[in-house]
Amino acid sequence: MILHITFTKQTKHSSLRSCGVMNVFQDAVCTLNTLQTNASALEQVKRERGHPELQLQAMRGFLQRAGLKVDELDRLNIIHVTGTKGKGSTCAFTEQILRNYGFRTGFYSSPHLVQVRERIRINGQPIGKELFTKYFWQVYCRLEETKDAHGGSMPAYFRFLTILAFHIFLQEKVDLAVFEVGIGGAYDCTNIIRRSWVCGISSLGIDHTSILGDTIEKIAWQKGGIFKVIIWKKNTKLCMLRGFSCSLSVCPDLEEYQSEGSLRLGLAGHHQRSNASLALQLSHTWLQRHFLTDPVSSSPVEFSGVSPAPAFQPSPAMIKGLAETEWPGRNQTLKHGPVTYFLDGAHTTRSMQACVRWFNEIAPQHERNAGVLLFNATGERDCAAMLKLLVPCLFDFAVFCPNITEAIATCNADQQNFNVSVENMLTRCLDNQQSWRVLNGQEEKPGAELLIGGGLPLVPERQSHTLVFPCILSALQWISQGRDSVLSDPNRCVIPVKPSINAKADPLREAVNIHVLITGSLHLVGGALKHLDPALNS
């Protein structure tokens, strides 16, 4: 059950030459990546965690330096969505529905799977490389030119992309913009938005505890910080949201909507039904306010108690929108000959429960002779808890790798992450491997020797059905054993593996059909899709 909330109510561009940087997409992405490792920016973010109100103050300063004003954002007719899980899917449903009404839509989300421009969409499509490059340098140059007067400060990666999204949506004159919160809500940089037309909250869970707090109540308070007027999910911590100046409404179950037959969803998984219900309420409320003479009131709304949101009859555009929604990397199935990939970016215990439920429902529809888990998780996630949920799926192999797309350096700036060292990522993989062995009751053995090939550890020597690879491509190539034509492209580099490791793959070579569940991280899923779906690279 979910929560949805309802709100009542250019400067001259710097020339590209002044930056001294070629106006090329990859140059823009590489320059963007420098904001990941800007030492002063990272230190500033750490300091602001102790004083979260400073985050929005800093965001206002960066926005002004970029040539934008907060009141200009009111023209974007924003739908603002937060939550622990399901907020991206909710946004995708909502955007598709309103696009079906003929509106020109903007959609800002995170993280991206393959290319960074996926985060900023116009009419459902990632902004083109040419436009991304053009607008990137407009914003970056303004910030660069003013940094000396502000202690050399530049916005960190996510802040910059948020500012860029505002700028693009204003320049491209969208009719409305759907914004997915990054982390939390109250102090998230997207909360610089003053007047959302409607806001919503999807399911809550324990995540990002060092930033948001270690209880559902604390997290609910943070998420509720975007609210002005609310419609929400039944299981959300209602008592923690009543302190806000807004009215609360509870979304009905999807089955309660007045439609002929059950509503068909373009996204798989039972949990998507509650996200779809929230999307119906968000889009319905936005449409109601859009066609009012004065849709956004400037006067505050007093808390008026909790009421159920109406289970209205969805319009044909809404029904079509729900059925046509696509959101890669979430409950996604790809069949490549004898290998079927099941991809889901679940990265909390609750989202992993939903992933396992979906996998157990969908996998039996595809013949299986061998099953493989490809897993990685990042940050402060409880990997052991997630892995425990996956044990009953009875995989023949558990394969672990970091969120590195390829071990050999290539032009892959979109998926570079400079905030975590390779050593730390590989250590996490080895820890996950050990957790899997313990959960499966396998005897603990001495630490494995990592085989170094070309400077990166390749595969640990262990007498078990668990393996650790240095990158996503090497893991996928070993799992598929040359039987996936997409991965067998002769132009791809094949990383050599010791004969003893290849011998372990006999069950995969002999299996008629192989199932591969890829989960634990959206970054892992994105790296896999880069190799499995070449169209996403264009």
The Cα 112–Cα 496 span in angstroms is 30
Burial status of residue 25 (CB atoms within 10 A of its CB: 0-12, 13-18, 19 or more)? buried
Cross-strand partners of 249: 4, 307
Rounded to the nearest 5°, which phi and psi values hold at 39? Answer: -60, -45
Q: Is 381 annotated as a binding residue?
A: no
Burial status of residue 255 (CB atoms within 10 A of its CB: 0-12, 13-18, 19 or more)? exposed
What single DSSP character describes residue 74? G
Strands (E), 181-226: 198-201
Amino acid at 3: L
The Cα 321–Cα 373 span in angstroms is 33
User: Contact, 497 vs 478, CB < 8 A?
Assistant: yes
Strands (E), 422-500: 450-453, 456-460, 466-468
Q: Which among 122, 226, 125, 118 has a CA at the least distance from the CA of 176?
A: 122
Residue labelled with tokens 């934008």: 68
User: Contact, 192 vs 63, CB < 8 A?
Assistant: yes
Q: Which among 227, 167, 149, 141 has a CA at the least distance from the CA of 191?
A: 227
Contacts for 141 with CB less than 8 Å, ≥ 6 apart:
13, 14, 15, 16, 18, 19
Rounded to the nearest 5°, which phi and psi values hold at 505? Answer: -85, 5
The Cα 255–Cα 481 span in angstroms is 44
Q: Is 180 annotated as a binding residue?
A: yes
The Cα 203–Cα 275 span in angstroms is 9
Q: How many CB atoms lie within 10 A of CB 367?
A: 12
Q: Which among 106, 500, 100 has a CA at the least distance from the CA of 316?
A: 100
Q: How many residues does the chain have?
A: 538
Q: Is 48 annotated as a binding residue?
A: no
Helix (H) or strand (E) holding 121: strand 120-122
Q: How many CB atoms lie within 10 A of CB 128?
A: 12
Burial status of residue 81 (CB atoms within 10 A of its CB: 0-12, 13-18, 19 or more)? buried
Q: Is 208 annotated as a binding residue?
A: yes
Residue labelled with tokens 């290319």: 115
Strands (E), 181-274: 198-201, 230-232, 248-250
Give CA separation, 357 vs 360, 392, 436, in Å.
5, 11, 20
Show binding-site residues for Mg(2+).
110, 180, 208
Binding annotation for ATP: 330, 344
Residues marked as binding? 110, 180, 208, 330, 344
